[in-house]
Amino acid sequence: MLTYWLLFLVPAWMALSESSRTQSVRSRYWGAQWVLAWVLLTCIVGWRHDVGGDWLNYLGHYEEALDTPLPLAFAKDDPGYHLLLWAVTRGDWGVYCVNLFSAAVFSAGLIAFCRQQPRPWLALTVAIPYTVIVLGMGYTRQGVALGFALLGLVSLKQGRLLPFVAWVALGATFHKSAVLLVPLAVLATPRNRLWTVVWVGLSAFALYKGLLADSVDRLVTNYIDAGYQSEGAAIRVMMNVVPAALLLWWRKRFHWTVPERNLWTMLSVLALLSVAWLMASPSSTAVDRVALYLIPLQMYVFSRLPELLSRRGDERMWVGVIVTYYAAVEAVWLFFATHAFAWLPYQFYPWIWLWE
């Protein structure tokens, strides 16, 4: 458990000492501290051993890939992940190599997105309790998909639509649910809307036909008809609702471009609608999986909240409030979550390997 708290406390300490910065004064190149943060996150997430609720399932995927020919790997659901498995198993490098690559992509996307925020270390602190510990260490494929999606959101903020669609499409090869983000390019584009609708619509259709069409019936059977339930889904959905409600309530206080306003307003509306979906859906798991892509709302809003609420230079007090809130989130999850036992104790593979 100490590892998880250190993982939280380091960026929290940095968050308490940083000041808000504008994009114009922040270099697009990563400094040494961010490179180090990426390396540490990649190692902690990627070199975990027997950590995560789906650990045995991913071991099974690796063992199955040992006897899977390339054409069959390419034809599977989430082909990007299965092609990665196929490549790693040819050298018999172990599931840790798969996890390390996945963690590198996830961490790169997370840090790139956090660095776009006015308080990058606060954004990273917000991400640790659930995005990193639960999602990054528990849902390997969706963690990669989210990493690529975050790189896409960085491109979309810069007005680059083609890279956004490309990043999301790449993420969708690891977890098909990422396809749902493609239409955001249309919503975030105030100019040339007709042309954007045409080419983004065609891209979305191609991705649907290539990745989702053959799986729809199976997904409905596995999630909706079976009524799969996720413990804590309601809590995780509500964690997105809080920043969504704050953004919509104080939207006139935000300093943003028109594309940013369109994008984050729509994500906030989707976060609020997910509550109704959760109440109506027979499967909370389906809602939970889709709501994972709304998690960036937490980093986006809370990294801006100290300036929105501050009066007479008390920004640091609000940073402390946010850090305390997410410390409580981590504590509640570690001590009371139904499946937290699968994350405890944290085990680091190189250390295990040295003592075998």
Report d(CA 300, CA 19) in Å as an integer: 16
d(CA 13, CA 171): 32
Question: What pLDDT band is residue 22 in, cutting at 50, 70 and 90?
Answer: very low
Tokens of 188: 């975030």
Mean pLDDT of 266-271: 90
Contacts of 4 (CB under 8 A, 6+ apart): 133, 330, 334, 343, 346
**Residue 345: is the preceding peptide bond cis (ω within 30°)?**
yes
- Higher local confidence (pLDDT), 325 or 251: 325
Q: What is the pLDDT of residue 266?
A: 87
In angstroms, the Cα distances linking 73 to 83, 166, 314 are: 6, 22, 55
The pLDDT, as a whole number, for residue 220 is: 47
Contact between 109 and 149 (Cβ < 8 Å):
yes
User: Of all residues in the chain, what percent carry a pLDDT higher than 90?
Assistant: 50
Q: Is the pLDDT of residue 125 over 50?
A: yes
> What's the longest Cα–Cα distance across the chain?
65
Confidence of residue 85 (pLDDT cuts 50, 70, 90): very high
Mean pLDDT over 28-57 rounds to: 92
What pLDDT shows up at residue 67? Answer: 86
User: Are 224 and 122 a contacting pair, CB within 8 Å?
Assistant: no
With a pLDDT cut of 70, the percent of the chain lying above it is: 82
Residue 25 has pLDDT above 50, yes or no: no
Does residue 346 carry a pLDDT above 80?
Answer: yes
Residue 225 pLDDT exceeds 60:
no
The arithmetic mean of pLDDT across residues 213-227, rounded, is: 48
Q: Residue 261: pLDDT band by 50, 70, 90 thresholds? A: confident
pLDDT (tens digit per residue) in 171-212: 989 988 888 787 776 666 666 656 566 656 666 666 655 555
Q: Which amino acid is at 205?
A: F
Q: Is the pLDDT of residue 124 over 60?
A: yes
User: Which residues contact residue 175 at a Cβ distance below 8 angstroms, ignoring those fewer than 6 apart?
Assistant: 78, 81, 141, 142, 144, 145
